[in-house]
Amino acid sequence: MSEIAREAETFLPLPPATFHILIALADDDRHGYAVIQDVAERTGGALKLSAGTLYRSIQRMLEQGLIVEPRERPAAHEDDERRRYYRITPLGTAVAKAEARRLTQLVKLARAAGFAPGRA
Amino acid sequence: MRGYRLLLRLYPASFRHEYGDEMSAIFARRLRDASNPLARTVLWVETIAEVMPNAALVHGDVLAQDLHYVARTLRRTPGFAITAVLIVALGIGATTAAFSVTDFVLIRPLPLPDPDRLVKLWERTPGYPTMELSAPNYRDWKAAAKSFASMGVYRSYAVTMISAGEPRRFSGTAISADLLPTLGVAPLIGRGFTADDDRDGAAGTVIVSYQWWQIEFGGDPNIVGRSVIFGETPYTVIGVMPRQFNFPSSDALFWTTNRFGEPDYQPSERTNNYLYAVGRLRDGVTLQQARAEIDVVATQSMQQYPKENKDTGAVLLLLRDEVSPRARLMLLALSGAAACVLLIACANLANLLLARALGRRRELAVRAAMGAGRERLIRQLMTESLLLALVGGALGIAIAVVSVPLLTRLVPTTLPIASAPSVDMRVLLVAAVLTIVTGIAFGLAPVLRAGASPDLDGLREGARSGGGQKERLRSALVLAEIVASVALLACAGLLIRALLTVQAIDPGFKAEGVLTMRTELPMPAYGKVATREAYYARVLGEIRATPGVISAGFVSFLPMGSMRGGIWPVVVPGDAEAASDTRRASNVAAIRYVTPGYVEAMAIPLKRGRDISAADNRDRPFVAVVSESFVRRYWPGADPIGRHFTFAFADREVVGVVADVRFRGLERENEPQVYLSSMQVADDSIQFYSPKELAVRTTAPPATLAPTIRAIIRQADPKLPITRVQTLSDMVDLETASRSVQVRVLSAFALTAFVLAAIGIHGLLSFAVSQRTQEIGVRMALGAQSSDILSMVLRRSAALAVAGVIPGVALAYAAGRSMEALLAGITPADTVTLAAAVGLSVLMTVIGSLAPTVRALRVDPISALRTE
C-alpha cells in the first residue's frame, strides 16, 4: 500500500457530507453553491446540503488537506468573481476511493447475507 | 437578509468571516427561488432549525482544535503548565478549606428553627463572667421574666449501660420537658417529653439521637417502647431525634428528663450551679429588652436572697455566640491567612501569564500576520487560561476535600452543630471564579493590547517585549506577594512562639509515664466509705504489685480532664470576707478527694509537710493538703502547717503543701487546690467527688500496662465501666491541640506564600535578565566585570526585598496586634519572630534571583551582540 493510501485509510469511515462533496469535486473545481446543486442533482434531490453543513465540512476538509482553494481561477466566462472555488487534492481522491472501496465491501457482505438485491 | 446575517452571528467569528458571504449568497439565491410566501416561510424555518445545531458543532470544532493546540503548547512548556496549575490549586484549595470551616462555625445559622431568637442564660458572680444556673434561681427567674416565649434547661448526664457484654459509659443530656419545644425541634419518630415525664419520681424515659439509634440499636424500627437499663434502672425509649439535631453538641447520644423535686430547690441549692438554660425570645422582644428585664429580675433575686445570691447577676447571650473568643479569633486569623494565600496565588498567576504572553508576543504576531483573526487568538488564549484554571480548580477541590477534615479540631465543641464541617460549595465557587477571572483577564491582556495596535513590532528581530508600564505592573504584583508572605511568615512565627510558650507552661505535675483511666463508681452501691476503701485497697494493691508500676492513686477528677470545675467555699477563722461572701472566685478552692499515692503518681512536688496517708481515716482528725496559692491567699508569709479551715462540711487541718496544678487547663486561671483524704467523708455524702479517676506512674511505656490494669479492675468489679483510658501526656497535649492545628495550618499557608513569592521573584528577574541580554552583552564587551553584572541584577532583587519587607513587617505587626489574645503573652513586635520573617524573605529573594543571576553571568557577549 502506498503512503498516501495508508494515510487515506485513517479518514474512514467518511461522514456522508464529506463523501458527497468529494464526489462533486471529482471532475471539476466548483464553488459552494455549485457543490450543493451537484449533490442534489446526483441524488435526484434526495440530499440537499444546507449552507452550514457544507461550509463546516469544507472548513474541515481544508484543514485535513482533502481539498484546497486553487490560486488560478477557471476560464473568465465561467468565473464568478465573488465565489470561492474548491479543488480536490490527491489525498482527497485517495480518501474518496478508499471510502468507495469500503462501501463496496459492505454491499458485498450485505448481498451475501441476502440483504440487498443483485447477484449473491 | 438581515435576519440571516443575524443568524450567522451564532457561528464563531472566524467561521463567519471566512464563509459568511458565501452562505448569505446561497441563502439569497434560495430565497429568490422560493416562489410563494409559504415556500419562503418553510425555507426560513428550515434554515433556523439547521443553523442552531450546526453553529454549535462549529463551535465544538473550534474548541477541539484549540484544545489540541493548547495541549501541544503546554506539553512544550511543562514547567509553566505545572506551575500555573499548582498555583491555582493551592489558591482555591487553601481558601476553600479555611473559609469552609470558618463559615461552618461562625457564619452559618444554627440548624434550629429561628436560631436568632434563641438565647442562653447564665449567672454571673465575681470572678466568673458566665456561670451555670442553680435550680432555684432558674425556677425563680423563669417565672419572673416575661421576655421569653419559653425556656428550658439541660445538664450533662452520663450513664452506664451493658453494651456488647461490657459495662460502658455513654454521655447524654438531662433536660427539662420544655427544652425541645423551646429549641423548636420535634423527634423524628416517637414523642417528646411531657411534664409528666419530668416529674419527681416519674418513670425513666429517654429519647435517643439518630446516630446512637443507628450504632447502638442497629436502627431498630421498633425502638419506641423498648426498655434500656441505665445503671440498674430501666428507661423506656420514647423517641428518636432527627439526624441533624446535635444539642447541646455533637457528643450528645441521648436525652432524658431532670425529674427535679423539692429537694433540688432548697435554699442551699442556690449556690450549686450546674444547669444550662436556653430561652426563646418572645416575638417583638429584642435581645436588649430581654437583657434589661433579666437584670431587673436578677437584682430582685439578689435582694431576696442576700447571702446565697450575693453579687449574682444574669447574663444573656445569643446561642449563636457560644464560641469562645479564642476559637473565633483563631478562625478569623485562619481566614485572613487564606485570603492572603488566594491573593498571592492570583497575583502570581497574573504574573506568570503576563510573562508568558510577553514571551509569546512573537508567536502571536507571526500568527496574526499569517491571517489568524484576533478573535481566534483570543479564543485560543482563553481556552488555555480556562483549561489551566479548570485543571487547577479540580486539584484545588481535591486539596480542600482532603484538608477540611484536618481542621475539625478548630470546630468548638460548644455549638449544637455537627462535629465535622463539609466543603462549602459557595466558598468553592467564589474562590474558583476569582481564580478563573484572574486567569482570563491576564491571559488575554497581551492579545487585547496587540489587537489595539496591530503593528508588527513583535516580528522585528530583537524586539524588546514589554513596555515600562507592564514592567511596573509586574513589579507591583511581585511586591504585593512579598508583603503578604512576610506578613504571613511573621504571623505564623508569632503563633509558633505562642505555642512553644504554652507548651512550656508547667502544669504542676509530670505528665510523662502516667496512664490514666476513669471507672465510674455506681451509686448507691458505692455510697459507703468502707465499700469504696475496700475497692481502692484491692485495685491499688494489685496495680502497685504489677511489674513496671512505680505508684498509683485515685482522685475525684484528673487535671485537664472531662471535669475541670469542682470548687467549694473556703471558710478560714478570722477571715471575715471569706466567711461573708462564698461566691467570689477568691474565696473558693478546687476540691479533690484522693487516695494515698495520688500526689506521688502525678509527681506533684510536695513543698512542705506530708502527703495524705493511709492513716488519715475517719477516726483521725480531718486533714488537708493544700496548694501554694492557697497558702498565699489565706496565710501569706506564715507557716500553714497545723492551721485549720472549714471545707466540705468539716474542719480540716493543713498537714502538707504541694505545688499548684493547672487543673482547669494550661491557659486558664486556676483556683487554689485542696486535697482531702478519700476516707474522711460521711457515708453517702459528697458522692460526686468520690475518687474514681486513676493515675498510674510506670517505668514501662504507660499504654502497654492498660490491659493488665483493666483486668485488675474487671476482677474487682465486672460491672464497672472503664472509660477514658489515655496517657497523661495525651491529656496535656490535647490542651494545645487546636493551637497546634492552627500553627500547622498557618505555617502551611506561610510556606505556600513563601514558595509562590519566590516563584514570582524568579519570574520577574528572569524576564528582566532576558530583556537585558543585549545590554549585558554590550557592557561585557566594553569591559564590565562579572561583579558589575552581578550587582546590576542583585540591586534589583535587593530593591524588591527592601520595598516588600518594610510594609510587610508593618502589616505583620498590625495582624499580630489584632490576634494578641492568641499569642499567650508574646508581643506582636517580637524581635526574634520579625527578624526571622525578614531573614526568610531575604532568603526567598536570594533563592528567587539565583537562577536569573547565573543566567546573566553566563551571557556570551558575542552571541548577545550578534542578534542585534
Which amino acid is present at B815?
A: A
**Tens digits of residue pLDDT in B233-282:** 899 999 999 988 988 888 889 999 999 999 899 888 888 889 999 999 99
Percent of chain B with pLDDT over 70: 94
| Dihedral angle computed from the Cα positions of residues B539, B544, B549 and B555, in that order, rounded to the nearest 10 degrees | 50
Q: Out of B21, B26, B57, name the one closest to residue A56 (CB).
A: B57
- Give every residue of chain B whose pLDDT is below 70, as ranges: 371-372, 412-415, 419, 445-470, 576-583, 865-868
Q: Is the peptide bond before B524 cis (omega within 30 degrees of 0)?
A: yes
**Tens digits of residue pLDDT in B125-157:** 888 888 899 999 999 999 999 999 999 999 988
Q: Out of A50, A56, A63, name the one closest to residue B58 (CB).
A: A56
B22 to A84: CB separation less than 8 angstroms, yes or no? yes
| A33: closest CA of chain B, how far (Å) | 6
Nearest chain A residue to B55 by CA distance is: A52
B61 to A56: CB separation less than 8 angstroms, yes or no? yes
Residues of A whose CB is below 8 A from B54: 50, 52-53, 56
Nearest chain B residue to A63 by CA distance is: B65
Q: What does the DSSP 8-state code read for residue B615?
A: T
Q: Is A33 at the interface with chain B, CB within 8 A? A: yes
| B60: closest CA of chain A, how far (Å) | 11
| DSSP SS3 for B778 | helix
Question: How far is residue B507 from each of residues B589, B693, B698, B734, measured CA to CA in Å?
Answer: 17, 18, 19, 13
Give the pLDDT of residue B561: 85
Nearest chain B residue to A59 by CA distance is: B15
Q: How many residues does chain A have?
A: 120
- Whether pTM > 0.80 for this model: the answer is no
A52 to B61: CB separation less than 8 angstroms, yes or no? no
B54 to A52: CB separation less than 8 angstroms, yes or no? yes
| B22: closest CA of chain A, how far (Å) | 7
Q: Is A58 at the interface with chain B, CB within 8 A? A: yes
Contacts of B45 (CB under 8 A, 6+ apart): none
Interface of B with A (CB under 8 A): 11, 15, 18-19, 21-23, 25-27, 29, 46-47, 50-51, 54-55, 57-58, 61, 65
Q: How far apart are CA B371 and CA B374, in angstroms?
A: 9
Residues of B whose CB is below 8 A from A63: 65
**Tens digits of residue pLDDT in B171-206:** 899 999 999 999 999 999 999 999 999 999 899 999
A59 to B61: CB separation less than 8 angstroms, yes or no? yes
In the stretch 64-83 of chain A, residues with CB closer than 8 A to chain B read 82-83
Q: How far apart are CA B708 and CA B515, in angstroms?
A: 12
Q: How far apart are CA B14 and CA B158, in angstroms?
A: 74
**CATH code of the region A3-112:** 1.10.10.10
Give the pLDDT of residue B135: 93
What residue spans of B103-229 are helical by DSSP H? 135-144, 179-183, 210-217
Question: How far is residue B719 from each of residues B520, B693, B716, measured CA to CA in Å?
Answer: 10, 16, 9
| A116: closest CA of chain B, how far (Å) | 33
Q: How far apart are CA B137 and CA B299, in angstroms?
A: 12
Which of the residues A30, A49, A55 would you substitute to probe the B interface, choosing the one with the greatest number of B C-beta atoms within 10 Å? A55
Nearest chain B residue to A49 by CA distance is: B50
Q: How far apart are CA B221 and CA B631, in angstroms?
A: 60
Mean pLDDT of A63-85: 74
Percent of chain B with pLDDT over 90: 34
A33 to B21: CB separation less than 8 angstroms, yes or no? no
Residues of B whose CB is below 8 A from A84: 22
Residue A106 has a CB neighbour count (10 Å cut-off) of 12
Q: Which residues of B216-254 are buried (b: 16+ CB within 10 A; e: fewer)?
A: bbeeeeebbeeebebbeeebebbbbbeeebbbbbbebbb
Nearest chain A residue to B29 by CA distance is: A33
Give A118's pLDDT tier (boundaries 50, 70, 90).
low
Q: How far apart are CA B793 and CA B810, in angstroms?
A: 27
A33 to B57: CB separation less than 8 angstroms, yes or no? no
Residue that wins the pLDDT comparison between B581 and A105: A105
Q: Out of B26, B54, B65, name the one closest to residue A33 (CB).
A: B26
Give the pLDDT of residue B462: 45
B15 to A59: CB separation less than 8 angstroms, yes or no? yes
Question: How far is residue B69 from each of residues A63, B76, B179, measured CA to CA in Å?
Answer: 14, 11, 65
Residue B82 has a CB neighbour count (10 Å cut-off) of 11
Q: How many residues does chain B have?
A: 868
Residue B69 has a CB neighbour count (10 Å cut-off) of 13
Give A120's pLDDT tier (boundaries 50, 70, 90).
very low
Q: Is A112 at the interface with chain B, CB within 8 A? A: no
The closest alpha carbon to B229, from B160, B164, B130, belongs to: B160
Residues of A whose CB is below 8 A from B26: 32-33, 36, 51, 54
A59 to B55: CB separation less than 8 angstroms, yes or no? no
Which amino acid is present at B595?
A: T
Q: Out of B23, B46, B47, name the one closest to residue A55 (CB).
A: B23
Q: Residue A31 forms beta bridges with which residues?
A: A85
Q: Out of B21, B26, B54, name the one closest to residue A56 (CB).
A: B54
Residue that wins the pLDDT comparison between B822 and A54: A54
Residues of A whose CB is below 8 A from B9: none
Residue B612 has a CB neighbour count (10 Å cut-off) of 25
Q: Out of B26, B54, B55, name the one closest to residue A36 (CB).
A: B26
| B66: closest CA of chain A, how far (Å) | 13
